[in-house]
A = this chain, B = another copy of it.
């Protein structure tokens, strides 16, 4: 048996696979999913088209992984913030929403691809899974806040979904390729602040004058 995969080879293969994933991510971040043909990705990764298929059974699988990784990074951040139990729930929600919005605005093409661009059904499934992830992250903090009387009583799953939707839709304008010629990063601060305020208001008790703790 004159050939058996050695550690060195395994590492090189893994590195190539990595290059392909990274090339796919770059392609999306630069010009959107629509531009990300297998050929374009292969060219960018300096491999032949066929080689992509040594690493992934299909284009859909490749991009499912790309989406999964990119989204997981974002979701991890949001989840970390929303589940930091040392802080009050409203602060967690606000920070999570702000982080979500800021990061999206910082990488608009990628964010647009992850959030809204038409993609293969298999990739869409990945997207939906992460939407659920965001929803659950927010829902957790909402529950905590409800328990602490920081929020009014509400269906936390529904409210969480609504928050995710509000963030997504409100960002879609600024993110969409069309409106991407005239960047105005200054206005982002105001946009983010308004958006966060919107979300907080939606879920907080209306009456907070004499303030809280009516146990």
Instruction: Spell out A's residues near B (CB within 8 Å).
Output: 118-119, 121, 124, 128, 131, 152, 154-155, 158-159, 161-170, 172-173, 176, 190-191, 194-195, 197-199, 201-210
The 10 nearest A-B residue pairs measured at CB: A165-B169, A202-B202, A162-B166, A165-B165, A118-B118, A166-B166, A162-B170, A161-B170, A165-B166, A155-B194
Contacts of A208 on B, CB cut-off 8 Å? 206-207
With A161-B169, A165-B167 as known contacts, state yes or no: A154 contacts B195, CB within 8 Å.
no
Min CB–CB distance A10 → chain B (angstroms): 38
This protein's copies in its complex: 2
The docked-state distance in angstroms from the alpha carbon of A121 to that of B170 is 20
**Additional pairs, 19, CB under 8 Å, beyond known A118-B119, A152-B201, A207-B209:** A118-B118, A118-B124, A154-B194, A155-B190, A158-B195, A161-B172, A162-B198, A165-B167, A165-B168, A166-B166, A198-B202, A201-B203, A201-B204, A201-B206, A204-B206, A205-B206, A206-B206, A207-B208, A209-B210
Name the prevailing secondary structure of the A interface residues. Answer: helix
Query: Which residue of chain B lies nearest to A173 when distances are taken between CB atoms in the complex?
Result: B161
Min CB–CB distance A80 → chain B (angstroms): 22
Contacts of A128 on B, CB cut-off 8 Å? 176
The docked-state distance in angstroms from the alpha carbon of A204 to that of B173 is 24
Contacts of A161 on B, CB cut-off 8 Å? 169-170, 172-173
Min CB–CB distance A183 → chain B (angstroms): 17
Query: Which residue of chain B lies nearest to A159 when distances are taken between CB atoms in the complex?
Result: B198
Query: Which residue of chain B lies nearest to A208 when distances are taken between CB atoms in the complex?
Result: B206
